[in-house]
Structure 1
Amino acid sequence: MPGTWFGLEIAKRGVMSHRTALDVTGHNIANANTAGYSRQEAVLKPTDPWTLPDLATKMLPGQLGTGVTVEEVRRIRDYYLDVQARQSGSYEGYWEKKLDLAKRMETVFPEPDGRGLQTVLLNFFNDWQDVNNNPEDPGVKKAVIESADELAGIFRQMHTQLSTIGEGIAVTSDSESPPGYYQVVGGMMSYEADKINLLTKRIADLSNTIIRLRQNGASPNDLLDQRDALLDELAKFGNIKTVVSDSGQIQVKFIDDSGSFDIIRMNGGQVEAGKVAVFKDTAADPHYHLFLDFDGSFDAADARLDLTARAAYSPALPGSGQGSLLGLESARLDNQKLLKDLDDLALTLVARVNAAATDTPPGSGIEFFDSATTGAADIKVKAGSTDIIGQNAIHVARLRSTLLTIGDVTNTTFENFYQGIVAQVGASVDHHANMLENQQAIGGQIEALRQSVSGVSVDEELTRMMQFQYGYQASARMIALQDEMLDYLINRIR
């Protein structure tokens, strides 16, 4: 039979277990508004019965219970929703960068407000028409030079602004290390890589602490919340996949169509963070490619992701890209395309104006723009261009409506070509804004589902608090009852 103190022990276990459950409930209420916190639950379990039947023990009519204990403090989390939220976050990170940089590029093309390139270009051709109407008027000829200077200045300014945007995305080192590779040491690309390295180190350090606590039998729920919050942040940079063991070890991979790349790996009983870097490979393409390196060797083909090829390919994929790094590279390619279009426009303008200005008779007149022009960056009026032949002015003026081939575009005019650039930039901003808004809506729905599972409901916790409070009081009343019984047994029986 159970001993004299048997009932007292049962009541004590009830008091201790309900007090622990109250502590867990209080912890939930205290963190109801803490970002990334997952609701915790004290799992109550009956303790082993007083007698367990075996070959040497008589089978009793029923086993006598010995009370309750807290088996574990369980963290409420849905792994599937975590995967969905991180995937949504990677798409959101992509469109955030695309929209941010598209807006910056849009400011370079201030049309139709202000004195943009289109307005100045039209004035330039109108001034040539005035020269045709007044071929001997020096004032009209001077106006042509002034409008040409203004036009060239706007070309140079726009090129500088776009180049500055490109340098803001990625700046490479001046020296090769190893040969053929230039590490990206500045700009948003470098900053993003540094943030990834900081996050992976923090995740690895947290994981090693979690492993030690798990080995000691603890449940490091708050540390797991911190690690998951860091993983959510890491997912903004790219599509990640996590593998978590029961011991607390974690492996994190960057996933791409071409394969997977470890950024946090398991090594024996420890977790190690990799080192991510962005570099330029001059051998990959005449215009070079940017690669994301995952092991610090740069030249290891199995540990690098071709960001440029992936960014150029991503618009054809459902969802169009993942992660802010890919968004930055895609925006850099968009910026390069704008620079090329601007160069094509400037070079075609120089070539056609110079040809028209010396047309009648052939070879007569002057070289109006400097023929050494390589693009929008250095277009300028050639020194001594004031000696304009009036009869050639009409040929230049007619260029405004002449169908031309500019870059890859055929049967277009200077004005239409430039309008196409402006329209494309504006359409990109609208498209990126819509995609980001859609992705944020999807992310919001997923986060709402996560909160419905892992979030703290104060009303629910207050209900639990009352439940455990009454359980505590009832167990305490059992102790008082046991005390009365023992007092009667010890002090009153003679």
Structure 2
Amino acid sequence: MGLMGSLYIGVSGLQTGQNALNTTAHNMSNIDTTGYTRQQVQQGTRSYNILSKTASANAYQETGLGVNYSRVKQIRDYFLDKTYRQENGRSAFYDTSVSAIEEVEDLLQELQGETFSEGIQNLWKAVQELSKDPSNSVNQGVFVQRCNEFITRGKAVYEGLAEYQDNLNSNLKKEVDTINEYGKRIVELNQAILKIEAGGREHANDLRDQRNQLLDELSGKGNISYYEDVDGNVLVKFEGNDFVKEDSINEIALLADEVTGFYTPYWKNLADTTKNPIDISSAKVYDMQQTISTDTNTDIGSLKSMLFARGDHRATYEDLKDADHYEKNISQSILMNVQAELDQLVNKVVTGINEIFKNAADKAGSYPDSTYMRDGNGNPYQIFNLVANETDQNGDPYFTINNIIINGEIKQSPSLLGFIRPDQKVDQDTADALKTLFTEAVHTLNPKVHTKTNLANYYNNLVSQVENTGSVLKGISENQQKTVNETYAARDQVHGVSSDEELSNMIMFQNAYNAASRYINVISEMLDHVISTLGR
């Protein structure tokens, strides 16, 4: 090759060195940018000029045309990305569960300085004092007062749980809106990347970084899978359904329950909108009866965790009657589980006390014209009345926590109870029956618990159960966070920017640039010498 052609070889070295320095500088300037992926220059040789073929061997005499700046590629590990996103989703699931259980613990342990545990213990103490001297009007008054306190504090705790359900419901809507926004932004980036890379000469690496960061964020919301097609579009599935397509998304919509206002996420494109209300039976994002398990990867995503923690209704004691119903619909919901168990405690105390006073009135009925434990209409006194005259699934009065009120007549005049039978004897049997109600260990928290407890210790067992569940969840969450951190660190070693490495590269590329510059100077001096010599 002639000297003039050799200048182009030098120029290719200068251009490649300059581009490599620019890439290194770009890496250094983004060393603290979240989601940035280290970029690396790929170099290659330009095509060779064939001068001649030798006669003695099957070979060519060739001359090179310099270095070629092939492309700038991102340094990522697909498998580490996939692992990190799965573990990040699992970590988000348990973080949300821990937040929910901590909120429940706060509600159970303390409520404006007055714990419900204190309320149940005060009622139990009042029953004990009453059993010592049933005819004492002071003991009767304290007993009725403690009954009222028991219901008031129980309602406050239950309302706190219901309010937190509503908060989770609001957050669930925000979560779905965020997921849809992520999907729309990924579509926008797909189209922008396609425009830039359509010519095949340029790679939209910074836009790809933004897209990868969105995939990281989306992985915390739910279980995702994805792949990149031949055009550079990333197609995403969310919870097994198509979410992000080439130029659009299948949005997640929300259907609010008419009674509770609870949202149910569903796929907008799969719902039957011809019906009123719309039919989402085959379009729901989640199956609420599926078992949460790491083995089946069903414990991934904050959206699912939020949905399961909230549940789909306000749970009551009725949800604990059927073991199969409890297992499928209640057991995996933190809030619904506690609501049902708390309501069961209140129901058993209320119905138990009412039944004891009814039995007392019925026993006294053997005396002619007996009014013992009866009101002016001849009906047995009931300490607790219904707010609304409803029945449960068994046809019994529906004494759920929000449908109970203290008998106003008894509340005003506790001495009406009297505890003096028609034969003028103190009704010690009724007082002892009240005591037995609280000490008889015949109750279980839920169908999955086989250990019997009494009503005096029921609430403490409920709190202990929540604390144990919280301890397990916190342990899982902490271990999961360690896994996420380790995976992130391993991934960061691959695509993270190292200042020491980049400075070394900068020195290398600077020396390569200087070498190309020196090469051009040598060729220039040679040309000058040839021209000067020939010109004489």
TM-score by length of 2: 0.80
Shift, 1:375, TM fit: 1.2
Task: Encode CA deviations 1:71-130: one digit per residue, 9 max, x unaligned.
Answer: 111111111111111101110111111111111111111179964223321221221232
Please, which of 377, 386, 406 is the counterpart of residue 402 of structure 2?
A: 377
Q: Cα distance 1:399–1:374, how it changes in 2: closer, same or farther (>3 A)?
A: closer
Aligned length: 462
Using a 3 Å threshold, how does the CA distance of structure 1 residues 90 and 244 change in structure 2: closer, same or farther? Answer: same
Q: Assess if the C-alpha contact under 8 Å between 1:14 and 1:67 holds in 2.
A: yes
Determine the C-alpha separation between the residues in 1 that align with 2:148 and 2:503.
Answer: 75
Residue in structure 2 matched with residue 196 of structure 1 by the alignment:
179
Equivalent pair of 1:38/1:75 in contact (CA under 8 Å): yes
Q: Counterpart of 1:395? A: 433
Unaligned runs of 5+ in 2: 273-278, 311-332, 364-371, 374-380, 390-397, 420-426
Report deviation, 1:296.
Answer: 6.3
Counterparts of residues 20-99 of structure 1 (less than 5 Å): 20-51=19-50, 62-99=61-98
Letter in 2 for 1:104: E
Specify which of 288, 305, 308 is matched with residue 308 of structure 1: 288
**1:331 pairs with 2:309:** yes
Q: Distance in 2 between matches of 1:99 and 1:89?
A: 15
Which residue does the alignment assign to 2:195?
212
- Contact residue 267 and residue 285 of structure 2 kept, 8 A: yes
Q: Which amino acid aligns with 2:142?
A: A
Amino acid at match of 1:206: L
Distance 1:113 1:276, change over 3 A: closer
Aligned partner of 2:301: which letter?
G
The 1-side partners of 2:51 and 2:173 are apart by 65
Tell me by how many angstroms 1:139 deviates: 2.5
**The 10-residue stretch of structure 1 (155-164 or 330-339) with the greater mean CA deviation from structure 2:** 330-339
Matched position secondary structure for 2:406: coil
Please give the secondary structure, in 2, of the residue aligned with 1:66: coil
User: Aligned-pair distance for 1:251?
Assistant: 1.0
State whether residues 108 and 162 of structure 1, in contact with CA within 8 Å, keep that contact through their aligned partners in structure 2. yes
CA drift of 1:214 comes to 1.1
CA RMSD of aligned residues (A): 2.8
One-letter amino acid of the counterpart of residue 203, structure 2: S
Over residues 160-183 of structure 1, what are the superposed CA-to-partner deviations in whole Å (9 max), with x where a residue is unaligned?
A: 00111111222xxxxxxxxxxxxx
Partner residue, 1:478: 519
Q: Could you tell me whether the CA contact under 8 Å between 1:28 and 1:40 is conserved in 2?
A: yes
Q: Does 1:272 align with 2:248?
A: yes
Distance 1:320 1:445, change over 3 A: same
Structure 1 counterpart of 2:424: none
- The 1-side partners of 2:385 and 2:280 are apart by 46
Check 1:195–1:99 CA distance in 2 against 1; reply closer, same or farther (3 A cut): same
**Corresponding letter in the other structure for 2:119:** V
Question: What is the Cα deviation at residue 273 of structure 1?
Answer: 1.8
What's the counterpart of residue 367 of structure 1?
382
Larger Rg: 2
CA deviation string 1:348-381 (max 9, x = no partner): 1111111223433536422111155631123332
CA distance in 2, matches of 1:53, 1:279: 77
Any idea what SS the aligned residue of 1:304 has? coil
Letter in 1 for 2:242: D
SS at match of 1:43: strand
Query: 1:118–1:415: 8 Å Cα contact kept in structure 2?
Result: no
What are the ranges of 5 or more consecutive residues in structure 1 without an aligned counterpart?
171-186
Shift of 1:303: 4.4
Q: Distance in 1 between matches of 2:191 and 2:297?
A: 35
Letter aligned with residue 262 of structure 1 = D
How far apart in 2 are the matches of 1:169 and 1:68? 60
